[in-house]
Structure 1
Amino acid sequence: MNVIIIEDEKPSARRLQRMLNKLDIDAETMLHSVEESIEWFQNNPHPDLIFLDIQLSDGLSFEIFEAIDISSAVIFTTAYDEYALKAFKLNSIDYLLKPIDEDELETAVVKYKNRTSLNQSVTLDFNDIKKLLVNPIEREYKKRFSVKVGQHLKLINIEDIECIYSENKGTYVYTVERRNYLLDMTLDQLEDELEPETFFRISRKFYVNINAIKDMVSYTNSRLQIKLNHYKEQDIIVARERVKDFKNWLE
């Protein structure tokens, strides 16, 4: 099965790719904009299945289908409200509400396979759906975390977090109070929860808050070292493959 992902938030695309890998589905191609997708479809065989985000960085993804005649099946990955989701159902469209749940992803994939095995149509009328989705809703991201401190629960506001990191199979937040707190989530699970303009995953181990960055210096092998306002427990290094995206994020 030939599968591609069209998603403008690269961390979300990579997370979906990893989830599909667990289902033995390779989605090697990831596209991130309307313009990039149109160019790709003009020069490549069309896939069996597309995982499609609706709102891309340069417009609605429906513009792709206006420019190119595509017969691929589509599973939407969306943050749209319940009204729009009902429209998907009425038009026999599969959808996954962000943040994507692994069980729901598997169910959607099984549904697609069952329909294709029965030779049922899996193509869509995008013009009808587009009329219902011209106004994308604002994404909701984490505003705070609740953490356990002894027998008590403590609320930590997102703006009070300098960085989030993994260590010894645990995930920790480091706050402006110079304290560490253990979270019950992994870094991968946080990818769809953190505001992407504020937090960036610089490596497999660290997220940093842009408002906590004090300095950035060149490091070995074309990497960068980040200095935060308070965190000094270990070096914070931007992975070499993430340096370009990190610089773009800063701007």
Structure 2
Amino acid sequence: MSIIIIEDEKPSARRLQRMLTALNMEAETMLHSVEESIEWFQNNEHPNLIFLDIQLSDGLSFEIFETVDIKSAVIFTTAYDEYALQAFKLNSIDYLLKPIDEDDLEIAVKKYNERAPKQQSVTLDFDDIKKLLVNPIEREYKKRFSVKVGQHLKLINIDDIECFYSENKGTYAFTQEGRNYLLDTTLEQLEEELEPHKFYRISRKFYVNINAINDMVSYTNSRLQIKLNTFKEQDVIVARERVKDFKDWLS
């Protein structure tokens, strides 16, 4: 079975790809914009199943269907609420609200497998959809964290955090004032909570704030070393397989 993911937030796309792999399903292609998707569909055999984000960086993903006759099943991945989605007159298999839950994904895949023999091409009522999306819902990202300091709770604004990193099975936030705070979360969970234009996961161990980057230098094995404004506790290295995406993210 062939699967593609259309999602403009690359960390979210990669997370979904890993979740599908855990279900023994492989999404070999990831597309990130309306324009890129249209070109891909015009030049490639259509997949069996599409995981489709509603709002992409250059427009609504429904514009893809206005240009290309898509002959694939669709599972929507979206931050839109249930009531708006109930009004979509389309032949989608299911929808998944972000952040995507593993159990919900497994249920949606099961629905696809049950209905796949009967699945026809997607049809959309664009007039109804566009009326619903005149004022699209803005994605809400984490603005602050609450951390325990002794017997007290302290609020840390997201803009004050230079980086997040994992160490000894804990996840820490490092702030501009040079302090570390232990968080009750994981780097994987942060992928759905951090503004993707501001924070980037450069390795399995580090997330960095673009505004905290002071310098970047070449490092061994085609990697990059990041110099942050305040964080000096250990080397901050961009993993080799993420260097290209990281450079794209910077621009």
- Please indicate, yes or no, whether the TM-score normalized by the shorter chain is above 0.5: yes
Report % sequence identity: 79
Query: 3-state DSSP class of the match of 2:80?
Result: coil
- Evaluate the alpha carbon distance shift between residue 183 and residue 124 of structure 1 in structure 2; reply closer, same or farther with a 3 A threshold: farther
Give deviations 1:77-111, integer Å, cap 9, x for gaps: 112245422324x6564211111111111121122
1:135 is displaced (CA, Å) by 4.0
Q: Indicate if the aligned counterparts of 2:171 and 2:186 stay in contact, CA closer than 8 A.
A: yes
Q: Indicate if the aligned counterparts of 1:3 and 1:49 stay in contact, CA closer than 8 A.
A: yes
Two-structure CA RMSD over aligned residues (Å):
2.1
Query: 3-state DSSP class of the match of 1:77?
Result: strand
For residues 61-210 of structure 1, what are the structure 2 equivalents within 5 Å?
61-88=61-88, 91=90, 93=92, 94-116=94-116, 119=118, 123-128=122-127, 130-131=129-130, 132-210=132-210
Query: 3-state DSSP class of the match of 1:247?
Result: helix
Counterpart amino acid of residue 107 in structure 2: T
Query: 3-state DSSP class of the match of 1:221?
Result: helix
1:240 is displaced (CA, Å) by 2.4
Query: 3-state DSSP class of the match of 1:200?
Result: strand
For residues 216-227 of structure 1, what are the structure 2 equivalents within 5 Å?
216-227=216-227
Q: Indicate if the aligned counterparts of 1:65 and 1:126 stay in contact, CA closer than 8 A.
A: no
**Normalised by the size of structure 2, how large is the TM-score?**
0.90
Q: Indicate if the aligned counterparts of 1:171 and 1:185 stay in contact, CA closer than 8 A.
A: yes
Query: 3-state DSSP class of the match of 1:140?
Result: coil
Query: 3-state DSSP class of the match of 1:110?
Result: helix
Gaps of 5+ in 2: none
Aligned to 1:246: 246
Provide the rounded CA distance (Å) in 2 between the counterparts of 1:197 and 1:121. 37
Provide the rounded CA distance (Å) in 2 between the counterparts of 1:206 and 1:19. 20
Q: Indicate if the aligned counterparts of 1:170 and 1:182 stay in contact, CA closer than 8 A.
A: yes
1:61 is displaced (CA, Å) by 1.2
1:212 is displaced (CA, Å) by 1.5
1:120 is displaced (CA, Å) by 6.0
Provide the rounded CA distance (Å) in 1 between the counterparts of 2:125 and 2:11. 26
Provide the rounded CA distance (Å) in 2 between the counterparts of 1:168 and 1:198. 26
Counterpart amino acid of residue 139 in structure 2: R
Give deviations 1:181-226, integer Å, cap 9, x for gaps: 2222221211121011211111121111112122222222332211
Provide the rounded CA distance (Å) in 2 between the counterparts of 1:64 and 1:120. 19
**Normalised by the size of structure 1, how large is the TM-score?**
0.90
Give deviations 1:40-64, integer Å, cap 9, x for gaps: 2122221111000112222221121
